[in-house]
Homo-oligomer: A and B are copies of this chain.
Amino acid sequence: MVVLLSETEIDRLFHALADATRRDIVARANQQSQSVSALAQHYTMSFAAVQKHVAVLERASLVTKERSGREQIVHSNLDTLRAAARLLDEFEQVWLQRTYRIQGLLAERPDAADPASPQQNASPQQNASPQQNKQHETKE
């Protein structure tokens, strides 16, 4: 299962999750959709600060806001959270697979380097991964 997020969206998503206050906001909004000021009441920081946290969450699609009269109701977006979880599952899968594949090949292909052994060539010939979906600059 492939997750549909761009690198930039992944950046935003993890960045949004990398703050305890923001995680708490999502949890509360999920528990019950509520206005920004209602959320803000639970924290010692200013209303404006909470507003900014909500904005970060919104940019990451972890919550949505919906106007209701003078209030902005914050709804959690569990789909995005699920996407994040799937994304890490994917990393786990891919990276583990690679680990196993390398281990599995050790017997038959003596030139497949041992990833755990620190004693090795040190000559930086890189057998880099063929898939390049990044948008951050790589050299090679």
Report whether B14 and A10 are in contact in the complex, using a CB–CB cutoff of 8 Å.
Answer: no
Return the contact of A68 from the options B24, B99, B113, B118 (Cβ within 8 A): B118
Residues of B within 8 A of A68 (CB): 118-119
Q: How far apart sit A75 and B95, CA to CA, in the bound complex (Å)?
A: 12
- For the complex formed, measure the closest distance between the CB of A66 and the CB atoms of chain B, giving whole angstroms: 6
Copies of this chain, tallied across the complex: 2
Return the contact of A35 from the options B17, B71, B122 (Cβ within 8 A): B122
The residue of chain B having its C-beta at the shortest distance from the C-beta of A8 within the complex is B20
Return the contact of A42 from the options B35, B82, B91, B117 (Cβ within 8 A): B117
Return the contact of A85 from the options B89, B99, B116, B128 (Cβ within 8 A): B89
Report whether B30 and A20 are in contact in the complex, using a CB–CB cutoff of 8 Å.
Answer: no
Report whether B139 and A43 are in contact in the complex, using a CB–CB cutoff of 8 Å.
Answer: yes
Residues of B within 8 A of A124 (CB): 34-35, 37-38, 41, 44
Tally A residues with Cβ within 8 Å of B.
Answer: 71
The residue of chain B having its C-beta at the shortest distance from the C-beta of A89 within the complex is B85
Return the contact of A88 from the options B15, B31, B88, B136 (Cβ within 8 A): B88
Report whether B28 and A7 are in contact in the complex, using a CB–CB cutoff of 8 Å.
Answer: no
Residues of B within 8 A of A139 (CB): 41-44
Residues of B within 8 A of A13 (CB): 18
Tell me whether A126 and B42 are in contact in the complex, defined as CB-CB below 8 angstroms, given that A95-B76, A119-B68 are known contacts: yes
A110-140 interface code vs B (CB 8 A; 1 in, 0 out): 0001111111001010111100001111111
